C-alpha cells in the first residue's frame, strides 16, 4: 500500500482523522457496522487501508491480493460522480499492473446508498450481511434455537466460579496473552497439508492485528468492552460500540 499511497497521495488512517470520518458518517440516516471510524481504523494494517478526501467524500481504499479497491463507498456531501471518476482512475491505473481493471470495485454499499450508485450506472452484486440479534434473546437464550447455547452456559456456570467485568485499559496485556493463545490454538487445529490452511492462517493473522490495535486504542476509539473470568482466570473478552440509540456493534469477541 506504500506504493499506492506515494503514487496517488493516499494517507494512512490515524486517530486524528476520527473527526473527519465521524462527520461524514453522521450524514447517513441508517447506522451500519461498517460505517464507523473504529471499525475502519482497527483494520488499517491488516487490510492495508489508506484514504483520501475527494470531492467532499471520505474514500477508503484497500489492497486485496494486489488489487486496489474501495473498501467503503465514498461518503460525503460533494459531487459523487466526479468523486467516483477520480477513485476509479486511481484504481484502474494501479490495477492495470496486473492487466485486469475489472477488479476495481466499490465494496460494502448499504441499501441507503445503493440508489446513488445504480443511478450512475453501477450494477450491484449481493454479498453477505451482518449477523443481527435481539439483545434480550441473547440474555434469555430461550427457545429451541438457543438450546445448545443455553446448555453450554449452564455447564460453564456449574463448573466454574465465573464473573464478568468492564474491560479496562489495564486488562489489555492479559487480553493480548489470551489472543495469542487463541491464535496458536486455532493454528494448531489445521494439518500442514490442509488445502485451506494458508487462507485460514492469513485470516487469523489479520484478525490478530485488528484485535491488538483495538485493545491498544480502545479509549480514543470510544470502544467499550467486557472481560469474562473463570476461577480468576481470564477466558474471554469482547469490544464493541454503539450504533445509534437502539443498536450496538460487536467488533471483537474472543
pLDDT digits (tens, 9 = 90+) for 11-27: 999 999 999 999 999 99
The pLDDT of residue 69 is above 90: yes
Average pLDDT over residues 107-124: 94
Poorest-pLDDT segment among 23-27, 146-150, 197-201 = 197-201
**Cell numbers that stand for 22 in this block:** 465521524
Q: Determine the pLDDT at residue 1.
A: 56
* Residue 143: DSSP 8-state: S
How would you classify residue 248: left for phi > 0, otherwise alpha for psi between -120 and 50, otherwise beta?
beta
Q: Determine the pLDDT at residue 153.
A: 94
pLDDT band for 147, please (50, 70, 90 cuts).
very high
The pLDDT of residue 10 is above 60: yes
The pLDDT of residue 96 is above 60: yes
- For residues 73-87, one letter each, b for 16 or more C-beta atoms within 10 angstroms of the residue's C-beta and e for the rest, the string is bbbbeeebeebbebb
Task: Tell me which H or E stretch contains 229.
Answer: strand 224-230
Q: Determine the pLDDT at residue 2.
A: 67
Contact in structure between 213 and 41 (CB atoms under 8 Å): yes
Q: pLDDT tens digits, residue range 116-146?
A: 999 999 999 998 888 899 999 999 999 999 9
The pLDDT of residue 194 is above 90: no
The full length of the chain comes to: 254
d(CA 163, CA 125): 44
Amino acid at each position: 500500500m506504500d506504493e499506492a499511497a506515494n503514487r496517488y497521495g493516499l494517507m494512512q488512517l490515524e486517530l486524528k482523522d476520527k473527526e473527519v470520518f465521524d462527520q461524514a458518517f453522521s450524514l447517513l440516516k441508517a447506522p451500519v457496522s461498517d460505517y464507523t471510524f473504529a471499525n475502519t481504523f482497527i483494520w488499517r494494517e491488516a487490510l492495508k487501508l489508506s484514504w483520501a478526501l475527494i470531492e467532499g467524500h471520505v474514500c477508503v481504499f484497500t489492497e486485496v491480493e494486489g488489487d486496489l479497491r474501495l473498501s467503503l463507498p465514498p461518503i460525503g456531501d460533494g459531487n459523487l460522480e466526479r468523486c467516483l471518476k477520480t477513485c476509479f482512475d486511481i484504481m484502474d491505473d494501479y490495477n492495470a499492473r496486473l492487466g485486469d481493471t475489472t477488479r476495481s470495485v466499490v465494496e460494502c454499499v448499504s441499501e441507503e446508498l445503493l440508489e446513488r450508485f445504480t443511478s450512475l450506472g453501477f450494477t450491484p452484486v449481493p454479498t453477505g450481511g451482518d449477523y443481527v440479534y435481539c439483545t434480550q434473546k441473547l440474555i434469555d437464550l430461550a427457545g429451541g434455537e438457543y438450546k445448545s447455547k443455553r446448555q453450554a452456559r449452564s455447564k460453564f456456570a456449574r463448573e466454574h466460579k465465573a464473573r464478568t467485568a468492564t474491560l479496562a485499559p489495564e486488562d489489555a496485556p492479559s487480553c493480548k496473552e489470551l489472543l495469542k493463545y487463541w491464535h496458536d490454538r486455532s493454528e494448531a487445529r489445521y494439518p500442514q497439508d490442509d488445502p485451506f490452511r494458508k487462507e485460514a492462517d492469513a485470516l487469523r493473522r489479520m484478525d490478530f492485528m485488528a484485535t491488538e490495535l483495538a485493545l491498544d486504542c480502545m479509549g480514543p476509539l470510544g470502544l467499550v468492552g467486557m472481560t469474562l473470568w473463570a476461577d480468576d482466570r481470564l477466558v474471554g473478552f469482547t469490544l464493541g460500540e454503539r450504533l445509534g440509540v437502539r443498536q450496538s456493534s460487536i467488533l471483537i469477541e474472543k
